[in-house]
Amino acid sequence: MQLPDNLVATEFGEVNVTDQGLTLEVRFTILLEPQGEDAIDWQTGVALDGSFSMLNSYGKHISISHIPESQQKMLERTGVLTWREAGNRRIPQIKDIKWIEELLIYRQEKNIVQEPAREFIRYLASLDADQHTTAIYWSCSNPTQRPHNSVQIIGDFPEHVCSELKITGPDHFGSRTELLPAVQYFADRFVDAEHGMYIFITDGKWRDQIAVKRYTQELASAIAAGKRNHVKFVIIGLGIGISETQMIELDDLEAKVDIWDHKMAADFRDLPRLVRKIWAEPERPNLKVANSGVVRDSNGKTVATYPNHNTQWLPAEISFNMSKSCDFFTLEVPDYNLQIRQTVVLR
C-alpha cells in the first residue's frame, strides 16, 4: 500500500507499507539532497506554459463588459465573439487571441499558478549550482519574431526572493504550442553545465513533436560522444487536456542517452511536491543522501542503521521491517540534525 501524499512527511518521496503477516515491510524514498562534497552541482530551470489555454489559470478571465455594444455586434458578425449558455448566464467566447490582447478583455480573478510556482522555483534554486534557478514562459507569442512562438524569460531567481515572485503569465499568450524553442533555450544557454535538469509544465499538447524527437536524438548522440555534458528534461502534464501519448513517446524515445522523463499532476497544487519527488527517482536508490542515519519504530527500537554491510552511507531508498503494533517510525539524520516522524496508518 502506498501512503497518500497528504500523509507523507515533506522530506520523503513515496512511502509503501506491506503487511507481511507478523511484521510490516516499509519502503520509502528520501527527498533530501546530499550536501558538501557529495552534492551534485545541478543547473536548474523551469518552463511554465504560456499558451492561450492557460489564460484562466493565471487568473485572467475573459470579460467584455467594457466594450461598446456596437463593437460587440461587429465581433459577433465576424465570428470572433460567440456565446456559451451556462444555466441563466451567457459566457463570452473569443476565438482570436489577437482581439483579447488588443481590447484587454481580461477580468482578474484567482491566479492558481503563482503560489505553487513560487514554492517549486524556490526549491529548484536551493539545488542549483549558482543558487539561482531560471524560469521562463514557453509557448507564448512574440510579435517581433517569426514564427510568432517563443519563450519569454521571467528571470533567474535566488531562493530568498521566490516568495515575492510575480507569476502572472506572459505578455502575449500563444495560440500555437511548440515545445522545441524552450528545450533549445535551456540546452543552448547552459551548454557548459555539468548536470542540467529542466522541467516543462503543460496543460495540453504541442505541435512540433517530430522536431523535438529529432533534436533529442541529436542531443543524446552528442552526450554519448562526450561532446557535451548530460542533461535531463522532465515534462509534467496538468489536468485532463494533456497528451500523455506525446509524453510517453519522449520518455520511451530510442536514443543513445535517456534524456526525457514525464510526470502527471491533477492540478497546480500537486506541483511543488511532484518537483521534489523528481530528485528521488527509483533509478538512483543508492544515491548518498548523508553519511549516516538511524530508523527507529514507534517503540524506540532500532530497525535500520546506516552505514551497514550493504552500503557505506544513508541512501535515497530505504527498506526495513517492524512490528505490526507500530503506527509510525522515525528517521534520524545527524548530518541535517533532523528527526523525521512518519505514520504508517491511514487516517
Q: What is 37-55+111-278's CATH number? A: 3.40.50.410
Domain map (residue ranges) of the chain? 5-33+286-343, 37-55+111-278, 60-108
User: For residue 195, which phi and psi values (nearest 5 degrees)?
Assistant: -135, 120
Q: Give the Cα separation of 72 and 93 in Å (integer).
A: 12
Whether 314 and 290 have beta carbons less than 8 Å apart is answered as yes
Question: Which pLDDT value is given to residue 133?
Answer: 96
Predicted local distance difference test score (pLDDT) of residue 289 = 85
Cell of 163: 516568495
Edge-first strand order for the sheet with 302-306 is: 302-306, 293-297, 328-333, 338-343
Q: Are 245 and 90 a contacting pair, CB within 8 Å?
A: no
pLDDT for 208 equals 93
Per-residue pLDDT at 331: 98
For 5-33+286-343, give the CATH class.
Answer: mainly beta
Residues of the chain where predicted confidence (pLDDT) is lower than 50: 147-148, 282-283
Q: What is the pLDDT of residue 106?
A: 58
Q: DSSP 3-state assignment of 132?
A: strand
Asked if 188 and 224 count as a contact pair (C-beta separation under 8 A), the reply is no
302-318 pLDDT, tens digit per residue, is 999 999 998 999 998 89
- DSSP calls for 143-173: TTSSSS-EEEEEEEEEGGGGGG------SSB
- Name the residue among 186, 230, 196 with its Cα closest to residue 47: 186
pLDDT the model gives residue 62: 64
The tally of CA atoms less than 13 A away on the side-chain side of residue 16 is 10
pLDDT tens per residue, range 153-204 = 999 999 999 999 999 999 888 877 899 999 999 999 999 998 899 999 999 8
Which letter does DSSP use for residue 128 in this model? B
> What does the pLDDT read at residue 182?
96
